[in-house]
Amino acid sequence: MSAKVAQALPWLAPIWQRLSSQAVERRLSHAILLLGQEGLGKRVLLREFSQQLLCLHVTDNAPCGACGSCHLFNAGSHPDLLMVEPEEAGKQIKIEQIRKITDFVNTTAQRANNKVVLLGPAEAMNINAANALLKSLEEPSSQTTLLLYSHQPSSLLATIKSRCQLYAVYTPPWQQALNWLQQNSEHESLQSILRLAKGAPLKAINLLEQEIHVQYMQFCQDMFDLQQSKANWSATLNKWKAWDSHWVMMWFYELILDVQKTQAGLPSESLAMQELQSQSAQVARGSQYAQLQSMHERLLDSQKAQQGQSNPNPVLIIETLLIDWLSLLGQSGRST
């Protein structure tokens, strides 16, 4: 297969083949929505597919890379492509951005017969933005194709999903993902990193590049040290303050899930935070479901607030999570 993305990310090859064949045969829906966890390459695939839709000389179900349209695309200046993504990582797609889609759809293509909107992650749209997008989905332009991707399809409006052709992007089998990682990295802890990325190869690479895995291992060590009163509370929080709070909150979230999995009798192989398995097991033995559920719900509320416009204090959130967790372990919150 000649498409770059299908060669580089083999687990996406079947979807690429279906999309490109439908495009060549003029059977493509006006709106495509790729669904799957973050780090599988949905955006990468749709970006290259955008190039194919705009290419003037498609060959072998792939963009030619040589026509004027491809040159504009590769330069990031194609007038018939509109990229709609959060202006800041982790934030919302605003209604003003969606209104640009309406204006874009109502203009004439400048280079060929096609225009493309690439939007994602779709769950980043707030309710007003999502409702505004419905107009473009309900009254499609014959010239425009909307390409959407979502990491959290359960967070999308049903009306958005019902107006798109849906493609599920599955996490590759563990061994395939690990083999791909080994071909693209020489790191010694690839299995641990892949587990942290929930089996998503591109997310694992991102964790390596940002040294998130280093922070994760330090987080685990800090949790042990705090449990054994070997660490200074304020120094630990100051260290974590320099990290991306998204990840620290995610690790607490996974810890709570691991406890619930342990209480449900699931095998240890299913645990995300295996480095902290002993703590999860201790909390599972000594805590009630209601305690865990309350902590889980507060954490979800904090994550939603962080994605929204309320700008909560992440350090205070993490401090509260740590107090709650150490309390479940039978430890005093500020013993050191």
Range 155-159, long-range pairs (CB < 8 A, 24+ positions): 155/123, 156/122, 156/123, 156/130, 157/127, 157/130, 157/131, 159/134
| SS3 call for 101 | helix
pLDDT score at 153 = 92
pLDDT score at 139 = 82
Q: Indicate if 143 and 34 belong to the same structural domain.
A: yes
Directed axis angle between helix 201-209 and helix 174-184, to 10°? 40
CB atoms inside a 10 Å sphere around CB 231 = 18
What phi and psi values does residue 189 have, to the nearest 5 degrees? -115, 45
pLDDT score at 189 = 86
Q: Which residue among 168, 191, 219 closes a domain?
A: 168
Calculate ∠ Cα 260-264-266, nearest 5°: 100
In contact, 161 and 149? CB cutoff 8 Å: no
CB atoms inside a 10 Å sphere around CB 3 = 23
Q: Indicate if 242 and 180 belong to the same structural domain.
A: no
Output the six-digit token pair for 1. Answer: 């297969």
Mean pLDDT in each 10-residue stretch from start to end of the chain (336 residues)? 68 93 91 97 95 89 89 95 91 93 90 91 94 89 92 93 96 96 90 92 94 94 93 91 91 94 91 92 90 86 71 85 89 55
Domain-embedded: residue 134: yes
pLDDT score at 241 = 92
pLDDT score at 332 = 59
Cα–Cα distance measured from residue 233 to residue 237, given in angstroms and rounded to the nearest whole number: 6
Cα–Cα distance measured from residue 60 to residue 1, given in angstroms and rounded to the nearest whole number: 8
Domain-embedded: residue 12: yes
Cα–Cα distance measured from residue 277 to residue 164, given in angstroms and rounded to the nearest whole number: 41
pLDDT score at 160 = 96
Q: Indicate if 109 and 16 belong to the same structural domain.
A: yes
Q: How many structural domains compose the chain? A: 3
pTM for this structure? 0.85
Domain-embedded: residue 79: yes
Q: Indicate if 69 and 100 belong to the same structural domain.
A: yes
Q: Which residue among 168, 186, 220 closes a domain?
A: 168
Residue-range definition of the domain harbouring residue 283: 211-328
Q: Indicate if 184 and 314 belong to the same structural domain.
A: no
Instruction: Residue 116: give its domain's CATH number.
Output: 3.40.50.300
Q: Indicate if 155 and 46 belong to the same structural domain.
A: yes
pLDDT score at 143 = 86
Q: Indicate if 161 and 33 belong to the same structural domain.
A: yes
Domain-embedded: residue 333: no
Q: Indicate if 125 and 267 belong to the same structural domain.
A: no
Q: Indicate if 198 and 161 belong to the same structural domain.
A: no
Q: Indicate if 156 and 8 belong to the same structural domain.
A: yes
In contact, 262 and 270? CB cutoff 8 Å: no
Cα–Cα distance measured from residue 243 to residue 298, given in angstroms and rounded to the nearest whole number: 21
Domain-embedded: residue 130: yes
Domain-embedded: residue 9: yes
Q: Indicate if 41 and 184 belong to the same structural domain.
A: no
Q: Which residue among 141, 168, 195 closes a domain?
A: 168
Domain-embedded: residue 336: no
Q: Indicate if 263 and 150 belong to the same structural domain.
A: no
pLDDT score at 334 = 53
Domain-embedded: residue 55: yes
Task: Annotate 40-52 with DSSP letters as a single string.
Answer: SSHHHHHHHHHHH
